[in-house]
Amino acid sequence: MRRAPRFNADAYILDLEDSVPPPEKSAARESVGRMVQELGEAGQTIVVRVNRLETGLTGGDLEAIVGPHLYCVLLPKVEGPDDVVEVDILLRHFEREKGLEVGKIFIDPALETASGIRQSWEIANASPRVAHMGASGGKGGDTARSIGFQWTPEGMETLFLRSKVLVDVRAAGIPYPMSGGWMDIHDLEGLRRSAQQAKQLGYTGMHLIHPSHVPVVNEVFTPSEEEVAHYKGLIEAMEETRAQGGAAVTFGGDMVDIAHEETARAMLEIAREMGVPGA
């Protein structure tokens, strides 16, 4: 875990759930609790995937990890809004107990079941702590088992799931919809295609399972210098048209108006936040 910062990810997920055998849960809590503090003090953004509520372990997990450097709790296998509400209440308790600002720690509900995906709108609105959410459509995982789809690299079988959840997330005003990860560690071209599709749908990032995936996904989701130049050119064309009393103009072969200008300005703001040169 101490090697995490070298990978240049936006955030790091420490796991207490499926990757930890039951006899080691207690020791893992102590270790992850220490790493949340250590990595957080080093300036890293830290997320912890806790055990699902049905295990009875979630409260103990939260008690061990809640602190000033915990950014977000990844809550697995969320079935409905009540799961989010329950974790919100637990977080509030531990924040108060430890003298922290109440509401500072976010929740990322993992929608890995048919019930969770069906109720994504209600889940997205269950708590103001929900800042990240998306649909998972990985190969052979919990979602595939619950829905019954047969995974393909093209992702057509999960297109509806990912689109449905994305619309619910956006409608709820959640700023950072996150797509599920790519399971094949070595197929970086497949990863690139999957990330590009997620970006085209409207997702802002992906959960990843391996450090080798980070540079590929960062490249896909970061606006390119060419895209920045396009957005700036469109804005300039619209400003010139408006100065002449117009409201629409042909730019790059397309008819554009104020709606396209607003989109371009929003994309430039994202590029600035990411530090893209020229934005």
Q: What's 180's domain CATH number?
A: 3.20.20.60
Domain count, the chain: 2
Residue 145 and residue 124 share a domain: yes
DSSP run (H or E) holding 29: helix 25-41
Q: How many residues make up the chain in this entry?
A: 279
Q: What pLDDT shows up at residue 140?
A: 83
Residue 137 and residue 230 share a domain: no
Q: What pLDDT shows up at residue 137?
A: 81
Residue 229 and residue 166 share a domain: no
Residue 113 and residue 19 share a domain: yes
Residue 45: inside a domain: yes
Residue 196: inside a domain: yes
The answer, yes or no, to whether residue 242 has pLDDT greater than 70, is yes
From 183, 199, 221, give the residue that closes a domain. Answer: 221
Structural domain boundaries, residue 132: 4-221
For the segment 90-144, what is each residue's pLDDT rounded down to a tens digit? 999 999 999 999 999 999 999 999 999 999 999 999 999 999 999 878 888 899 9
Percent of the chain's residues with pLDDT above 70: 100
What b/e readout covers 187-203, taking b as 16+ CB neighbours within 10 angstroms? ebeebbbbbebbbebeb
DSSP class of residue 76 equals: -
Residue 194: inside a domain: yes
Q: What pLDDT shows up at residue 259?
A: 98
For the segment 132-176, what is each residue's pLDDT rounded down to a tens digit? 999 878 888 899 999 999 999 999 999 999 999 999 999 999 988
For the segment 30-50, what is each residue's pLDDT rounded down to a tens digit? 999 999 999 999 999 999 999
For the segment 202-228, what is each residue's pLDDT rounded down to a tens digit? 999 999 999 999 999 999 999 999 999
Q: Report long-range pairs for 114-120 (Cβ below 8 Å, ≥24 apart).
A: 114/146, 114/147, 115/79, 115/80, 115/146, 116/77, 116/78, 116/79, 116/80, 117/143, 117/147, 117/161, 117/164, 117/165, 119/79, 119/80, 119/81, 120/164, 120/165, 120/168, 120/169
Residue 143 and residue 131 share a domain: yes
Residue 279: inside a domain: no
Residue 99 and residue 229 share a domain: no
Residue 65 and residue 37 share a domain: yes
Q: What pLDDT shows up at residue 124?
A: 98
Residue 119: inside a domain: yes
